[in-house]
Amino acid sequence: MAHYRGELMAELFFQELDPVFLTRPTTTDLGYDLLVGFSNQKSGINTFAVEVKSTEHTPKSHFPMHRGVFDRLAHSNIPSLLLVAEVKQRRLYYAWLRPNGAKHRGDSISIPLVEINDATKEELKSQFHGVAGEKAAVG
């Protein structure tokens, strides 16, 4: 139940950021839950993969992720975002999935999270809608 609530929270969050498209993959083995695209300032579309994780407890400053899922997303040619939905308090947290931003512990990776508030929401919107060359720095 929490998983579906988390995905719904994620979809509503992205709808507020004016995407060109928001879609779910047709297969479960891609490693991400959503694919979202935003128009950029040069009339192109910036595409991002989003992995949604749901929890009923406030996450700590770092979130554990299976190394295989992390590697698939962090080493993809599509910038990838981890979105953690705390469904009881209806709070969202995020992290860009980059090979150099995580602590490795065997089969688990510890990802540092940032809570989404009004300021970070605007930062993300700016990054999503940024020019193609600028978005590479965040992904």
pLDDT value of residue 128: 95
d(C-alpha 131, C-alpha 27), whole Å: 30
Nearest to 94 by CA among 127, 129, 50, 135: 50
Is the pLDDT reported for residue 11 higher than 70?
Answer: yes
For 72, the enclosing helix (H) or strand (E) is helix 67-74
pLDDT tens, position by position, 41-68: 899 999 999 999 999 999 999 999 989 8
- How many Cα atoms sit within 13 Å of 36 on the Cβ side? 26
CB 20 within 8 A of CB 39: yes
Domains identified in the chain, total number = 1
Contact 50, 32 (CB under 8 A): yes
Give the number of other CB atoms < 10 A from CB of residue 114. Answer: 14
Average pLDDT over residues 83-91: 96
Q: What is the pLDDT of residues 96-133, one digit of tens each?
A: 998 875 667 788 899 999 999 999 999 999 999 986 54
> What CATH number is given to the structural domain containing 90?
3.40.1350.10
Task: Average the pLDDT over 33-41 and give the result.
Answer: 94
- Residue spans of beta strands (DSSP E) within the chain: 21-23, 34-39, 45-55, 62-66, 80-86, 91-96, 103-105, 108-112, 114-115
Task: List the domain range (segments joined by +) for residue 54.
Answer: 2-135
